[in-house]
């Protein structure tokens, strides 16, 4: 800004612009610019010309503003709109590239660049640009850009599904070379590469055991005891039914933070009966009273090789989730052990997600999953959902590794107990 320029002149021009009085603003900014080169004046004159549909004049004003303020990405970004107005596709993409050269994280420029590629008949190039834009969106989208963002998401989704269909056709001959081969790992890899699924990793809160694969749901073949457990479903469910009928004494809120602890996503469930537990084992300690009330359940658990670490495990309990309940995304303490679910009362509408795999519980059909991978649960029904939960060792650990993990966790606990 020229030192000789009267500040009141700029204030007047800004006021006229803010009030939407275009004629008065045009005169005021013109007067500012006549007093000397001024990027704000040139930019506002460009915007006024653009609002009036005069793309050529807008381009000239934007060019002056850009020369005076070459580090402002907003100027070439808006200049692109003027080039679009006059049908100058090359000028438009040049302006967008200029905006991105100034600020590579200018997401509106990426969104508009994606639109440019669409208009050139290059939808897949557009989708790749949209993907870059969507990665860096702010939490709050300006209202004027929401429709553009929604369109970008739709276009990206369509492109990903088109790529998936193309790959299915192209990969079919190779897949046919391996009849009967399990390729679920490859399919997850492919879905991640296409962008249809996120690939999740271990995020344990206590102990991360390295070099273990991040398997969301383990194959039943790892657990030869599972058929016997499933065969006990009716006996276990009968004991559960008696507990509920008697008054559910012994059930406690599963989430129990101490006063002053940060509860984060657990605020709604903290000390709430919406997610309750009837413990047979808690942090390695047997609840003898609860075990006596459900002897067949206790016997079934005794036949399972549960993980056992003094002060930590086993943990085994009936887990209730109230109607319309939701257990938010979270991760468990370690990938050295896994979690088994045996569904007992599962109304329609109850589902469970581990990483990118969402499944519905089925009464009497157990599964084992790695709870160090992000997981969450829903009960979308109007009835109570109850499952039996307990922890087991990760079968990929050797006996020596299990004993070393036990020793590590016990020693760590002793160290911190010293204060």
Could you tell me which of 23, 24, 398, 355 has the C-alpha nearest to residue 214?
Answer: 355
pLDDT tens-digit profile of 201-248? 999 999 999 999 999 999 999 999 999 999 999 999 999 999 999 876
User: CA-CA distance, 175 to 169, in Å (whole number)?
Assistant: 10
- b (16+ CB within 10 A) / e for 199-238: ebebebeebebeebeebbbbeeeebeebeebbebbeebbe
Whether pLDDT at 3 is above 50: no
Q: Please, what are the domains in the chain?
A: 7-157 (1.25.40.10), 220-417 (2.60.120.330)
User: CA-CA distance, 345 to 134, in Å (whole number)?
Assistant: 41
pLDDT tens-digit profile of 67-114? 999 999 999 999 999 999 999 999 999 999 999 999 999 999 999 999
User: CA-CA distance, 351 to 206, in Å (whole number)?
Assistant: 26
Give the pLDDT of residue 1.
41
pLDDT tens-digit profile of 21-34? 999 999 999 999 99
Adjacent-strand bridge partners of 330:
375
Global confidence as pTM: 0.86
Q: For residue 359, name the pLDDT band (cuts at 50, 70, 90).
A: very high
Torsion sign, CA atoms 32, 33, 37, 42: positive
What is the secondary structure of 79-104 as a DSSP string? HHHHHHHTT-HHHHHHHHHHHHHH-T
Average pLDDT of the residues of the chain: 96
Give the whole-number percent of the chain exceeding pLDDT 90.
95
Determine phi and psi for 141, rounding to 5 degrees: -90, 130
Tokens of 351: 């589902």
Give the pLDDT of residue 5.
60
User: 17 Cβ partners below 8 Å, 6+ apart?
Assistant: 25, 28, 29, 44
Instruction: Check if the beta carbon of residue 323 is closer than 8 Å to that of residue 350.
Output: no
Give the pLDDT of residue 247.
74
Give the pLDDT of residue 419.
78
pLDDT tens-digit profile of 242-299? 999 987 679 999 999 999 888 889 999 999 999 999 999 999 999 999 999 999 999 9
CA separation (Å) from 304 to 310, 375, 400? Answer: 17, 24, 20
pLDDT tens-digit profile of 119-178? 999 999 999 999 999 999 999 999 999 999 999 999 999 999 999 999 999 999 999 999
Give the pLDDT of residue 2.
45
Give the pLDDT of residue 249.
78
């Amino acid at each position: 800004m020229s030192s000789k320029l009267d500040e009141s002149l700029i204030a007047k021009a800004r006021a006229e612009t803010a009030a939407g009085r275009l004629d008065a603003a045009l005169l005021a900014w013109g007067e500012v610019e006549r007093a000397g080169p001024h990027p704000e004046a040139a930019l506002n004159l460009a915007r006024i010309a653009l609002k009036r549909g005069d793309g050529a004049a807008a381009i000239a004003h934007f060019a002056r503003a850009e020369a005076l303020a070459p580090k402002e990405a907003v100027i070439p970004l808006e200049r692109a709109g003027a080039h679009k107005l006059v049908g100058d596709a090359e000028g438009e993409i040049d302006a967008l590239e200029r905006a991105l050269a100034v600020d590579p994280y200018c997401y509106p420029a990426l969104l508009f660049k994606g639109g440019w590629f669409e208009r050139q008949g290059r939808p897949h190039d557009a989708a790749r640009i949209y993907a870059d834009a969507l990665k860096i969106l702010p939490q709050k989208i300006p209202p004027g850009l929401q429709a553009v963002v929604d369109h970008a998401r739709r276009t990206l989704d369509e492109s990903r599904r088109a790529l998936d269909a193309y790959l299915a056709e192209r990969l079919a001959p190779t897949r046919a070379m391996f009849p009967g081969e399990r390729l679920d790992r490859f399919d997850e890899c492919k879905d991640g590469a296409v962008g249809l699924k996120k690939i999740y990793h271990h995020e344990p809160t206590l102990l991360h055991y390295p070099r273990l694969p991040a398997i969301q749901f383990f194959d039943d073949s790892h657990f030869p005891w599972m058929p016997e457990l499933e065969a006990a479903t009716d006996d276990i469910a009968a004991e559960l039914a008696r507990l509920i009928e008697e008054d559910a004494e012994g059930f406690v809120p599963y989430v129990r933070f101490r006063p002053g602890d940060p509860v984060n996503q657990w605020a709604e469930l903290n000390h709430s009966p919406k997610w309750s537990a009837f413990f047979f084992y808690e942090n390695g300690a047997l609840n003898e009273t609860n075990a006596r009330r459900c002897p067949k359940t206790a016997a079934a658990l005794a036949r399972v090789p549960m993980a056992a670490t003094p002060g930590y495990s086993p943990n085994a309990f009936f887990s209730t989730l109230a109607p319309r309940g939701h257990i938010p995304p979270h991760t468990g303490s370690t990938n050295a052990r896994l979690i088994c679910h045996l569904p007992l009362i599962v109304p329609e509408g109850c589902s469970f997600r581990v990483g990118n795999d969402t499944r519905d519980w089925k009464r009497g059909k157990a599964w084992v999953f790695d709870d160090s991978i992000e997981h969450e649960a829903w009960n979308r029904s109007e009835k109570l959902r109850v499952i039996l939960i307990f922890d087991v060792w990760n079968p990929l650990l050797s006996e020596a590794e299990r004993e070393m993990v036990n020793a590590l966790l016990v020693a760590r606990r002793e160290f911190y107990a010293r204060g």
